[in-house]
Amino acid sequence: MWTKDRQWRANMDLLARLVGEPVVDGFSHGMFADEARDISDPRIASFEDYACAIAGAANVVTNRLHVALPAAALGKQVYLVESGYHKLSGVYQRSLLLVPNIRLVPLR
């Protein structure tokens, strides 16, 4: 069963993977605590909320291409966190490698 608490914990785990990554040196896990939500999930945010959140963000941390691509197109710094089945690294290597504002955070 889906709950906001479980969603929040999953997103905090995603953000915790950034701590110590060279591409995000200087970021603190606590910086994201209030915004650890999946803005692309229609149970959490409307399309307007989704678009406004991306447009208003300075940095975007995601493991979803449908969040990363519009954020990158809007000039946001995007940290694309590999989710475990290598789809994101494949798309990054073949299509996004030269996009300067997208960084892939690989699996450890």
Domains: count for the chain: 1
| Cα atoms in the Cβ-side hemisphere of radius 13 Å centred on 25 | 2
Q: Which of 41-50, 87-96, 99-108 has the lowest mean pLDDT?
A: 41-50
pTM above 0.75, yes or no: no
Please give the Cα distance from 91 to 69 (Å, whole number).
Answer: 11
Domain extent, residue 40, equals 4-105
Q: For 33, phi and psi rounded to 5 degrees?
A: -55, -40
Query: 71 with 57: CB under 8 angstroms?
Result: yes
pLDDT per residue as tens digits for the range 52-99? 888 888 888 888 898 899 999 999 989 888 877 788 899 999 999 999
Q: Give the strands of the sheet with 77-81, arranged side by side.
A: 59-62, 77-81, 102-105
